[in-house]
Chain A
Amino acid sequence: MTKDRNSFIAWLQAGPMMLVFVAFFLLPLVFVVIVSAWDYNEYEMLPALSFRGYTDTFEGCIAQLPDLCTILKTYAKTVKLCFLTWAITLTIGFTIAYFLAFHVRSKTWQIVLSLLCTIPFWTSNVIRMIAWVPLLGRNGLINQGLIDLGLIKVPMEWLLFSEFSVVLAFVHLFTFFMVVPIFNSMIRIDPKLVEAAYDAGATGFQTLINIIIPLAKPGIVIGSIFVITIVMGDFVTIGVMGGQQIASAGKIIETRLNALQFPAAAANAVILLGITIVIISALTRLVDIRKEL
């Protein structure tokens, strides 16, 4: 009897959260999939089976071969930005986590320095994007500085509202998502293992490659999932930092929505979702998330 009672109470406790996810996450996803197969005209969606959302998206893709059509070009661009961001955030995130986990010895300092990395995460992303404008703009600090030093004559235009500034902002905003899980994996590594490696004559580099990276792998995978899913679906950062000029997978959905073409937006969302799921399932093959908390 007590067991039944216990599980009943557990249900009451977990129920509200599950209800929120059902109402605002699972059901909405179902609607995205359903509406993606609806018809539409200039101003409303029509509840009749049609794959116009998908066919419109891939319009001309076969006719234009071997050239890439707009949608494929956009996805290629998104994947490229995603890969660059992933590589840079991983390198920086790993280095920072390594420093915090292995070189900072006192617990207090570890907490203080981790907090220093976390505080910006609790502030507004838009503001952290806007913050680059006075530095990277045509009359910004960097251009002014280089002109004053006589290194360049005309301001560099590619610093702002370019792919460069988009990746820079991604790295600025999302390296945090790499640091936390990698740090979390690293502090579980038994220091004796590292010591044993040194005693056995391994160089610092060999220890890194053979001991630390394999043991930090779960953190690396979790961080990668975060960064990749955020960048694949992003439309805000690419919009603001790209001067609304760069297309991306997320921006296509936004554009379709602004045109009130809901089935087309939903079709694009399903495509994006499919690609994201493929990436994540490939990555989770490598690690069991639940063990890592």
Chain B
Amino acid sequence: MGDKRPKSFYILAAVFIVYVLFLYGPMFAIFTLSFQGPEGGLTFPMNGVSLHWFRKVFEGNGVVNIGAAFKRSLALGSVVMIITVVLSVAAGMAFRKGFKGAAVLFYTAIASLIMPSIITSLGIALEFRLFDDVMINHANDLGLGWLAEGWTTAMGLFTSGLGAHLTWTLPFGLLIMFAIFNRFDGRLEEAARDLGATPWQTFRHVVLPIILPSVVGIGLFGFTLSWDELARSSQAIGSVNTLPLELQGLTTTVTKPDIYALGTITSAVSFLVIFIALFIIQFLQARQRRHGSDAGKGLV
């Protein structure tokens, strides 16, 4: 491969630029349009510039309570993020040792990832409906009458909703753990063991610091995938809605730019989380480079 760029480079670079414009262009169109003046409509041209539509979103337009949905999504996303990180790292460590049933767990995770979301969502809805049915009609036979008194449903944000989101985020977390450990130097663990470290000390002081940047990446996937999740939540969330579900509902009814303003706010949260995560990853990697190795630095 010579130093001079071949002609194909420039053609492909142009294709890449067009692709990036295609990815981002429409998003920036609605970010811009969300600053429409009070008289502005759903399309260009801009009719003045204002924060009018953001104010409308925060005031609420009477139909849906956006503020509450916002908080619900934020809370659910945070819980999903924490569970995804903890369970993925734990399972990743298990796969490193190897265990009976490893292949089963792996293929279950892959199946969960590529299962059409509507099927997962329907299944969870059925599971909870049947459970509610048992609680309401048969609890006394099972001696659970005390529990079933006034029972309405077990479905909810942090039961069926949380489960639905985890079927989507955990496979990503597990795949990232696989990618990490495929590039992990096992000799570091052996060295720690030889120096007398307990398994927990080896994990805490050797493995975790090395994989930490990627673990932050798992957290990033966990939060953003939950924050934007729609298809799996649709049937399995119970009586309350998350922000994406409210947004989807608004697409058919709203004809004013407040939907763009809501889109801009939602995306702003996504971008904020992405940049915080990328910043932390950068910071951790820089620290690793500083402290990671003293090879070639002579005696200290």
Residues of A within 8 A of B (CB): 6-7, 9-11, 13-14, 16-18, 20-21, 23-29, 31-32, 35, 92, 95-96, 98-100, 103, 113, 115-117, 119-120, 122-135, 137, 139-141, 144, 172, 175, 191, 195, 204, 225-226, 229-230, 232-236, 239-240, 244, 250, 253-254, 257, 262, 265-266, 269, 272-273, 276, 280, 289-290, 293
A244 and chain B: residue at smallest CB distance? B252
Interface residues of B in 244-263 (CB under 8 A from A): 244, 247-248, 251-252, 259-260, 263
CB distance from B295 to the nearest CB of A (A): 20
Closest 10 CB pairs of A and B: A233-B116, A28-B123, A24-B163, A131-B26, A14-B94, A10-B99, A13-B94, A122-B224, A127-B263, A10-B94
Residues of chain B within 8 A of A27, CB atoms compared: 123, 127
Q: Would you mind naming 29 contact pairs between A and B with Cβ atoms under 8 Å apart?
A: A7-B99, A9-B94, A10-B94, A14-B105, A16-B87, A16-B91, A17-B91, A20-B87, A24-B124, A25-B123, A27-B123, A120-B24, A122-B225, A122-B274, A124-B270, A130-B30, A131-B263, A133-B42, A134-B29, A135-B25, A139-B43, A172-B23, A175-B19, A225-B114, A226-B114, A233-B118, A236-B234, A240-B251, A272-B119
Most chain B C-beta atoms within 10 Å of own C-beta, residue among A32, A92, A100:
A32
A229 to B111, CA, bound (A): 11
Known contacts A25-B112, A276-B116, A293-B179, A31 near B130 by CB under 8 Å: yes
Structural contact, B43 and A140, CB atoms closer than 8 A:
yes
Interface residues of B in 225-246 (CB under 8 A from A): 225, 227-228, 230-231, 234-235, 244
Structural contact, B27 and A21, CB atoms closer than 8 A:
no
Structural contact, B27 and A120, CB atoms closer than 8 A:
yes
Of A119, A229, A235, which one neighbours B115 at CB under 8 angstroms?
A229
CB distance from B165 to the nearest CB of A (A): 9
A289 to B106, CA, bound (A): 11
Structural contact, A280 and B102, CB atoms closer than 8 A:
no
Write the B270-299 contact mask toward A (1 if CB under 8 angstroms, else 0).
Answer: 110110001000000000000000000000
Interface residues of B in 93-149 (CB under 8 A from A): 93-95, 97-102, 104-106, 108-112, 114-120, 122-127, 129-130
Residues of B within 8 A of A (CB): 1, 5-6, 8-9, 12-13, 15-16, 19-20, 22-27, 29-30, 33, 41-44, 86-88, 90-91, 93-95, 97-102, 104-106, 108-112, 114-120, 122-127, 129-130, 160, 163-164, 166-167, 170, 174-175, 178-179, 182, 199, 220-221, 224-225, 227-228, 230-231, 234-235, 244, 247-248, 251-252, 259-260, 263, 266-267, 270-271, 273-274, 278
B160 and chain A: residue at smallest CB distance? A24
Structural contact, A172 and B12, CB atoms closer than 8 A:
no
Q: A17-B88, A95-B15, A100-B16 are in contact. List 14 more A-B contacts (CB 8 A).
A: A13-B90, A21-B108, A26-B108, A29-B119, A32-B126, A96-B16, A128-B27, A130-B30, A130-B247, A131-B30, A135-B25, A233-B118, A244-B252, A253-B122
Structural contact, B19 and A92, CB atoms closer than 8 A:
yes
A115 and chain B: residue at smallest CB distance? B278
A16 to B126, CA, bound (A): 23
A25 to B118, CA, bound (A): 12
A244 to B106, CA, bound (A): 37
A204 to B87, CA, bound (A): 46
Of A103, A113, A115, which one neighbours B9 at CB under 8 angstroms?
A103
A33 to B91, CA, bound (A): 29
Known contacts A232-B116, A236-B231, A17 near B270 by CB under 8 Å: no
Q: Is the interface of B mostly helix, strand, loop or mixed?
A: helix
Structural contact, A233 and B117, CB atoms closer than 8 A:
yes
A144 to B278, CA, bound (A): 39
Known contacts A132-B26, A135-B29, A235-B231, A24 near B267 by CB under 8 Å: no
Of A23, A100, A253, which one neighbours B118 at CB under 8 angstroms?
A253
Of B23, B115, B247, which one neighbours A120 at CB under 8 angstroms?
B23
A230 to B114, CA, bound (A): 7
A35 to B5, CA, bound (A): 61
Residues of chain B within 8 A of A195, CB atoms compared: 1
Known contacts A124-B227, A204-B8, A244-B252, A14 near B99 by CB under 8 Å: yes
Structural contact, B87 and A17, CB atoms closer than 8 A:
yes
Structural contact, A257 and B248, CB atoms closer than 8 A:
no
Q: Is the interface of A mostly helix, strand, loop or mixed?
A: helix
Residues of chain B within 8 A of A10, CB atoms compared: 93-94, 97-99
Structural contact, A17 and B114, CB atoms closer than 8 A:
no
Structural contact, B126 and A35, CB atoms closer than 8 A:
yes
Of B125, B174, B178, B228, which one neighbours A125 at CB under 8 angstroms?
B228
A13 to B90, CA, bound (A): 5
A233 to B120, CA, bound (A): 11
A23 and chain B: residue at smallest CB distance? B163
CB distance from A195 to the nearest CB of B (A): 7
CB distance from B246 to the nearest CB of A (A): 10
Residues of chain A within 8 A of B104, CB atoms compared: 18
B162 and chain A: residue at smallest CB distance? A24
Structural contact, B251 and A130, CB atoms closer than 8 A:
yes
Structural contact, B94 and A254, CB atoms closer than 8 A:
no
CB distance from A167 to the nearest CB of B (A): 13
CB distance from B73 to the nearest CB of A (A): 10
Of B95, B167, B235, which one neighbours A257 at CB under 8 angstroms?
B235
